[in-house]
Amino acid sequence: MGRSDAECVEWARAHRLAYEITPLIEMRGGERMQVGFNFSLYAEVAEEDAEDTAAGEALKQEMEAFVQDALAIEARVAQVEPDPERIVVTRPENQLKPELCLAWRIVHKEEYLTPVTSQDRERLAQLEQRLRQLGVKWSHW
């Protein structure tokens, strides 16, 4: 992406970037356990760009680059797997305005079915702090 933090903040605000992080739960031996996190990034999109358009594709690529920069620290210790689909959603948190949503799973690098530890949660808190520094709001504006 190659932007300064100030440019990232400006870009994030212009696109009203918001994120959500939820637990990634799997079954192991009949028991539910948290093995990672689901990370979703939302960007407000013009209604005419909500479908597959060049502008929508450009926004998707910018969002992917933004997240790659933001998750650079996390990528050293975790595996970050993108969900290949992009979807346009409307959420009450953003007054039902169309948003492009991209999602990733953050799991342990060595073994997928490794339970989340307190260290993992601390690193997640650092990621959330970095996102806020870059102008991304939690869940909604």
Residues 6+ away with beta carbon under 8 Å from 102: 40, 41, 60, 63, 64, 67, 82, 83, 86
Note the pTM of the prediction, 2 decimals.
0.85
d(CA 141, CA 139): 7
Q: What is the pLDDT along the chain (141 residues), one digit of tens a residue?
A: 567 889 989 999 999 999 999 999 999 889 999 999 999 999 998 877 666 678 888 888 899 888 887 776 555 667 778 876 768 888 888 888 889 999 999 998 888 889 999 999 998 998 899 999 999 999 865
In the chain, what are the domain boundaries?
5-138
Query: Cβ contacts of residue 114 below 8 Å, gap of 6+?
Result: 35, 107, 108
What pLDDT score does 74 carry? Answer: 58
